[in-house]
Structures are given as structure tokens and as C-alpha cells.
Amino acid sequence: LTGIYGPLNMLGFNYREIRQAFIDMEQMVGLTSMKPDITDAAQATPLPPATGKGAELAFREVEFRHDARSTGLTGVSFVSPPGTTTALVGPSGAGKTTAVRLALRLLDPQSGVVSLDGVDLRLARQADVRRAIALVPQDVALFNDTLFANIAFGRPEATEAEVRAAADAAELGQFIESLPKGLETVVGERGLKLSGGERQRVGIARALLAQPRLLILDEATSALDGPTEAAIQETLRKVRTGRTTLVVAHRLSTIVDADQILVLRRGKVVERGTHAELLEKAGEYAALWRRQTRAH
């Protein structure tokens, strides 16, 4: 293991990782056509120390327009208290990805405030924000390297114990044990091909390694097969405890136990509540739920 992280390799590896992490983050949130023009404020505020209970994420009257024609988000307000799960649902173009990009501070609102643990993200140090938030993307990018390196992606200084703990939490432990080379198995195009579920678990382990106070899950549009999907959902339910989670959901069945569900349409929150409350309201969410459950 130490061979990979030897001093000669360190600089190149780190640089590649950081660059790759950035490119990956862009791809994850569909940023390919846009470069974030975001810098630290002159007197950037540190985030308060993590409590181990998750962060408070708040949007207050957030306005964001991509350009004159597109809606982005208008007047979006919500608070995710520490340790809770907030789900974003809504039709394509409703603003879910825009909200995620604002939470990651890949975008700044034109007015209103996005804050993490009470600190306006525009005033926070970017390094703090990057450390506090981890994203499990729709499609987990793997590179041709060991499982260890793929999980430690973005945190090459992680110890073997930390990587194993993250892999265990993502319930990859048994799979890794079944491989003759364990964490040293090379994966990716030129190595062991991972199944969709295993890739997602690598993405979850990667995110958990950062011990984020805010975990953002961007659910894949296409479902895995039933049992794999159910097993991943079960893992995600476990890893959500002790941290705040923001989920972009395409399948409402994955968010029935969310603490709050925000239904977005054309950049606005048109309904909010728990699954049960929204069904009772018999509005857009209820209609969407009926459509999705009928389809099964």
C-alpha cells in the first residue's frame, strides 16, 4: 500500500486526484458547460466545529437565475435541521440540480442566503465547505486503480483503517473480502468490472470517508434491479444517521421516510411535508405517487 503513496508519487497523485475530483464534481452535477466563478471572501468565516449530529442546511429566499430565460430557483426557503433528511422532487427542469449546486457552493445565489451551520456559504472558506459536504453522484466514476485508491479518491492521505471503515459502512466489506487481492484489486475498464450496485457502494464509501456533516445523494434516474436497489436503500438509510442528508429523488419509494419532502416546479417549492402529509394533501406529490406506484 505504501508503495502507491510513496513520496515520489505523492505530488503527482495528489494533483491528479484534486484535478480529477474537481472534474468529477462538475460531471456529477452537470456543470460541464459552466465554470464556477467562486472565490473565498477576504475575511472568510470558518465553519463551527462538527457536532457529530449533522449540519443545519438552510436556504432563505434563495433566487438563482442561470440566464434571462431559465428559472433556476425563485424564493426557495427551507431548513434541514441536524440529522434530518430533506428530499427534493419535481419534474425535469424544476431546479433540483440547481439547488444541489447552490448547497455545494458551486453557484452563489443572486439574492437570499444558503447557509451551513449558520454560516452564509458566500462567507465560508471553500476548503471548509468541501470538507463538510460529500456527494454521492448518479453515476460513480471509477478510475483504473485499486479499490483502495478508488475509495480514498479525494483523500489520498486516508489510512487503511479509515478506508476499511468507510467500505464497511457502505457494506462493501464482504465483497472486498471475497477478492483475493482485497482492497488492492484493480478496478475500472482495465481491471475488475464492478456491477452498478458495487459502483454505487464505492461512491457511498468515498463520500463517507470524508465524514461529511452534510451528505448529498443524487439518485440515479435508472433504477438498479429490485433486490440491489433495495439493499442500497437499506445501506443509505443506515449511513444517514448522525448526518444531515439532501436527496434528489426520482423514485418516490426511496424517500417515504424523509423528514421533509420539497416538491419543486419551475424553480419554486409548490408543496412541502412528509410523505403522509403530502398524500393527504392530494396535490402534485400525491398525483406523482399514484402514477409511480401504478407503474410498478
Footprint on this chain of ligand ATP (rule: CB under 6 A): 33-34, 66-67, 70-72, 90, 92-98
Our CB check for ligand ATP shows the closer of 125 and 251 to be: 251
Question: Nearer Cβ to ligand ATP, position 93 or 191?
Answer: 93
Helix, coil or strand: residue 247: strand
Q: How far is the CB of 222 from ligand ATP (least distance, A)?
A: 13
Q: Which residues of 17-26 are buried (b: 16+ CB within 10 A; e: fewer)?
A: beeeeeebbb
Grid cell digits, residue 272: 412541502
Place of cell 457511498: 204
71 vs 126 by CB, closer to ligand ATP:
71
Buried b (16+ CB within 10 A) or exposed e, 190-213: ebeebebbbbbbbbbbbbbbbbbb
Distance in Å, CB of 250 to ligand ATP, minimum: 7
Nearer residue to ligand ATP within complex by CB, 198 or 219: 219
Q: Which is nearer to ligand ATP, 91 or 242 (CB)?
A: 91
Classified as helix, coil or strand, 176 is helix
Smallest distance, Å, CB 292 to ligand ATP?
Answer: 15
C-beta closer to ligand ATP: residue 73 or 121:
73
**Which residue's C-alpha cell is 475575511?**
43
Distance, C-alpha 13 to centroid of its chain: 24
Q: Provide the minimum distance between the beta carbon of 218 and ligand ATP in the complex, in angstroms, as a whole number.
A: 9
Cα separation values, 155 from 36, 205, 253, Å: 22, 12, 33
Cβ atoms of 213 and 55 within 8 Å: the answer is yes
Close Cβ partners of 285 (under 8 Å, ≥ 6 residues apart): 89, 252, 261, 263, 271, 273, 278, 279
Strands 244-248 and 85-89: parallel
Give the C-alpha separation, 190 to 213, whole Å. 34
Nearer to ligand ATP, 4 or 223 (CB): 223
